[in-house]
Amino acid sequence: MTHLVETPRPSRPKRPFFLRRGPMENIATTLIAIGFLMLFQPFLLVLYTYSLVTLLAGTAMFIIVSKFPE
Partner 1 sequence: MVEKAADATARATPTSVAHRVRGLSDRAIAWLFIAPTITLLLAINIFPLIWAIYLSFTNYRANRPNAPVQNVGLSNYERVLTDPDIWQAMQATAHFVFWTILLQTVIGFTLAYLIDRKFRGHAFWTTLILIPMMLSPAVVGNFWRFLYEPQIGLFAYAVSLVTGIPTADIQMLGNVSLAPWAIIIVDTWMWTPYVMLICLAGLRSIPDYIYEAAEVDRASAWRQFWSITVPMALPFIMLAVLFRGIENFKMFDMVTLLTGGGPGSITEVASITLKRAAFESWATGRASAFAIVLFVAVFGLANIYVKALNKVKQR
Query: Please, what sign has the CA dihedral across residues 20, 22, 25, 29?
Result: negative
Binding residues among 35-54 for partner 1 as defined by CB under 8 A: 35-36, 39-40, 42, 45, 48-52
Q: For the CB of residue 68, give the shortest distance to partner 1 in the complex, in Å.
A: 14
DSSP state of 67: T
Q: For the CB of residue 51, give the shortest distance to partner 1 in the complex, in Å.
A: 7
Distances in Å between the Cα of 63 and the Cα atoms of 1, 34, 41 are 57, 17, 25
Footprint on this chain of partner 1 (rule: CB under 8 A): 25, 29, 32-33, 35-36, 39-40, 42, 45, 48-52, 55-56, 58-59, 62-63, 66
